[in-house]
Structure 1
Amino acid sequence: MILIQAIIQPIRLSTVREALEQAGYGETMAGDATGYGRQRGQVATFRGNEYRIDLLRKVILSLIVDDDDADEVIAIIRSAAKTGTQGEIGDGKIFTIPVAEAITIG
């Protein structure tokens, strides 16, 4: 089993979840995240003053899949999460983590 964690733009969450559900991967968890990568935050102006916003709002989407399904799930997420035709800096990252066992509580 593989734990796939995708850190994506909040505006792409519903699109990514719908694409995963249509492909049969409906069991996902989502949570808020903040951080930055290569884009290093952004500069905003408020009442004439410039402020640097270093930590940008993101969403972290997690799901566990069989090893054989990992490449398909990654392709679905990459396709649905990108904001431009080629994708843009800040669209996110995908991490894969081996899972030895998943135990249901209850």
Structure 2
Amino acid sequence: MKKIEAIIRPEVFPKVREGLAVEGIDGLSITEIAGCGRQEGRTGIFRGNTYEMEFSSKLKLEMVVDNAKVQPIIDVILRDASTGEVGDGKIFIYPVEQAIRIRTKEVGAIAVE
């Protein structure tokens, strides 16, 4: 099993979610985050005052899946989250040693289906 974390732009999430649903991926966690990377800060205006916005709003998607589903998920994210601009995000993949569904006590890949 693998854990996939993807940091994406909030505005591309509906398209990514639809693509994941087509691949049969229904379970994922989403966290609203803010971060900075290679994109430069933006200037904002609040009540007539300008200020620098150092961090950009992003979404972090997290899912634990069977190894066979990793590449289709990566393909969906790369296809649907890309705008071609700096700040499109990143994908991280981690090994998962074990998963246990608390309710049924199922262990392994069946626990994440």
Unaligned runs of 5+ in 1: none
Match of 2:99 among 92, 98, 102: 102
Max Rg structure: 2
Within 5 Å, which residues of 2 pair with 1:1-106? 1-83=1-83, 87-106=84-103
Instruction: Give the letter aligned to residue 52 of structure 1.
Output: E
Instruction: Give the letter aligned to residue 92 of structure 2.
Output: F
Which runs of at least 4 in structure 1 moved beyond 2 Å after TM superposition? 45-50
Unaligned runs of 5+ in 2: 104-113
TM-score by length of 2: 0.82
How many residues are paired up?
Answer: 103
TM-score by length of 1: 0.87
Instruction: Give the deviation of 1:48 after TM superposition.
Output: 4.5
